[in-house]
């Protein structure tokens, strides 16, 4: 391999990250067309020929400017084979293919993408960042000006939103556009059937949501009626002169995990039974069908979906209905238990930002005649939160 080819791999690797490693490749071994790499710390990675060919990052396989793959594995015959595999300077693996193509892989990239059991386990562990909380949570609180001015403060705030799922911002202006300014510091806002921004104050004609009344609302997630519930919810308080109306929060993951431990059969039912949610109004008719507790690809709790007043009648087989109501009652009852509930009044110039698919929120009833109450809200998907964190982490680390 020439120096030019080496440089090419670095330059065009189809990934924005760099893959530093202290590990060196001790040797490689070709068998049945696949390559085994032996590292200096004893780890062994088997790389199948399809996988290696698929991930060739030479400028013919990966577009030099977009950094996206042009090559498709379906372009090569299934009997393609490795003719030669060589380690170069303990830091690169060079492959020559039966059709004459050549590929070069850096040690750092190989180490980061190895798929032996240990490597996969390490990656999984690194992704587990959820911190469960109960009533004694000290709500992570962030200063408006710092977050607006400083990327480090921004990152700290976003990590709390991701891992704890409940944050408070203080010292904010009470002007209408402030919330959008903060949200756009992360990314674009997700519009919904309630608009780009929604206003929470009692309306005379509260035609489409209990949220627009002065009623107490039970703990819930917003927009369970949509296939994808919004990830982040922002609620900025402009005025709060009314008596009552405190905010309360429950970590839905805490409840779900508790249920999983104490009543596994109920947990199972809530993860496997699709429930229909709907919100019908004169100009819209939204319906979704999904379980109340959602699991990710690794069977970890990754979503709560529940607003009691937006549920359609349960549609469960006759023989299963009693057990399902038992499970549903248990979950609802837990969301009312004081040991799970964090309660705090939101004052003017403060804002909640929480994971709407995890942290169930509610408000106490309030006295409409006692004073004005005006909140503005908007949503953002988890995609934007996670993308922003990853970009910030290219240059910053968490403070804590």
318, two tokens: 């006759």
312: nearest Cα among 271, 276, 270: 276
Helix locations, 92-230, DSSP H: 107-113, 117-127, 144-149, 151-163, 178-186
Interactions with its own copies, residue window 280-309 (CB under 8 A): 280-290, 296-297, 308-309
Residue 45 or 167 having the CB closest to its own copies = 45
- Candidate list 40, 321, 345, 370; residue touching its own copies; CB under 8 A: 321
Distance CA 360, CA 165 (A): 10
Distance CA 340, CA 342 (A): 7
Distance CA 242, CA 372 (A): 6
Among all chains, which residue has been given the structure tokens 């939160």?
385
- Candidate list 185, 314, 344, 398; residue touching its own copies; CB under 8 A: 314
Contact flags string 249-278 toward its own copies, x per CB under 8 A: -------------------------x---x
- Which of the ranges 9-17, 22-30, 257-265, 371-379 carries the binding residues for its own copies, by CB under 8 A? 9-17
Least distance from its own copies to the Cβ atom of residue 216, Å: 9
Segment (H or E) for 353: strand 351-355
Helices 264-272 and 252-262 sit at what angle, rounded to 10 degrees? 130
Measured over the CA atoms of residue 130, residue 131, residue 135 and residue 141, the dihedral's sign is negative
Interactions with its own copies, residue window 149-208 (CB under 8 A): 187-191, 193, 205-208
Residue 177 or 285 having the CB closest to its own copies = 285
Residue 376 or 382 having the CB closest to its own copies = 382
Contact flags string 76-105 toward its own copies, x per CB under 8 A: --x---------------------------
Helices 151-163 and 382-393 sit at what angle, rounded to 10 degrees? 130
Check residue 118 for interaction with its own copies (CB under 8 A). no
- Which of the ranges 132-140, 151-159, 213-221, 242-250 carries the binding residues for its own copies, by CB under 8 A? 213-221
Residue 3 or 317 having the CB closest to its own copies = 317
If binding means CB under 8 A, how many residues of this protein chain bind its own copies?
Answer: 89
Distance CA 388, CA 161 (A): 12
Least distance from its own copies to the Cβ atom of residue 59, Å: 14
Residue 54 or 246 having the CB closest to its own copies = 54
Segment (H or E) for 380: strand 373-380
Least distance from its own copies to the Cβ atom of residue 138, Å: 29
Least distance from its own copies to the Cβ atom of residue 395, Å: 12
Interactions with its own copies, residue window 22-81 (CB under 8 A): 46, 48, 50-51, 54-55, 63, 65-70, 72-74, 78
182: nearest Cα among 139, 156, 145, 231: 145
Residue 251 or 381 having the CB closest to its own copies = 381
252, two tokens: 């839905």
209: nearest Cα among 382, 377, 381: 377
- Candidate list 310, 353, 378, 385; residue touching its own copies; CB under 8 A: 310
Interactions with its own copies, residue window 356-375 (CB under 8 A): none
Least distance from its own copies to the Cβ atom of residue 68, Å: 4
- Candidate list 142, 328, 354, 379; residue touching its own copies; CB under 8 A: 328
Q: Which residues have a Cβ under 8 Å from the Cβ of 57 and sit 6 or more positions away?
A: 9, 12, 13, 14, 103, 105
Check residue 381 for interaction with its own copies (CB under 8 A). yes
Segment (H or E) for 240: strand 232-240
Strands 166-170, 141-143: pairing is parallel
């Amino acid at each position: 391999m020439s120096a030019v080819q080496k440089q090419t791999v670095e330059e065009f690797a189809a990934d924005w990250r760099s893959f530093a490693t202290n590990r060196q490749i001790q040797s490689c071994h070709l068998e049945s067309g696949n390559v085994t790499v032996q590292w200096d710390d004893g780890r062994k990675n088997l790389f199948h020929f399809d996988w290696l060919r698929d991930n060739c990052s030479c400028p013919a396989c990966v577009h030099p400017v977009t950094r996206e793959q042009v090559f498709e594995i379906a372009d090569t015959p299934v009997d393609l084979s490795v003719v030669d595999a060589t380690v170069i300077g303990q830091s690169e693996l060079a492959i020559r293919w039966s059709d004459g193509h050549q590929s070069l892989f850096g040690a750092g990239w190989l180490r980061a993408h190895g798929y032996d059991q240990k490597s996969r386990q390490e990656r999984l562990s690194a992704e587990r960042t959820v911190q469960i909380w109960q009533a004694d949570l000290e709500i992570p609180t962030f200063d408006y000006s710092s977050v607006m001015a400083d990327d480090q403060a921004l990152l700290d705030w976003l990590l709390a939103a991701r891992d704890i799922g409940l944050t408070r911002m203080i010292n904010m202006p009470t002007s209408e556009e402030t919330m959008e300014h903060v949200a756009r510091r992360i990314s674009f806002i997700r519009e919904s059937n309630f608009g780009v921004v929604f206003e929470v104050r009692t309306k005379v004609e509260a035609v489409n949501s209990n949220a627009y009344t002065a009623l107490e609302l039970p703990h819930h997630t917003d927009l369970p009626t949509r296939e994808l519930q919004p990830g982040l919810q922002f609620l900025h308080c402009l005025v709060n002169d009314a008596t009552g109306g405190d905010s309360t929060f429950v970590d839905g993951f805490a409840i779900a995990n508790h249920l999983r431990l104490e009543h596994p059969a109920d947990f199972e039912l809530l993860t496997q039974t699709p429930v229909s949610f709907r919100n019908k109004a004169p100009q819209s008719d939204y319906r979704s069908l999904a379980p109340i507790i959602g699991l990710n690809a690794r069977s970890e709790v990754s979503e709560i979906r529940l607003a009691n007043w937006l549920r359609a009648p349960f549609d469960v087989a006759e023989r299963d209905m009693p057990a399902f109501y038992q499970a549903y009652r248990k979950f609802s009852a837990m969301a009312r238990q004081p040991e799970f509930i964090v309660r705090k009044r939101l004052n003017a110039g403060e804002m909640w930002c929480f994971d709407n698919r995890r942290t169930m929120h509610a408000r106490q009833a309030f006295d409409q005649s006692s004073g004005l109450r005006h909140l503005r809200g908007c949503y953002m998907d988890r995609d934007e939160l996670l993308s922003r964190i990853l970009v910030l982490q290219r240059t910053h680390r968490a403070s804590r």
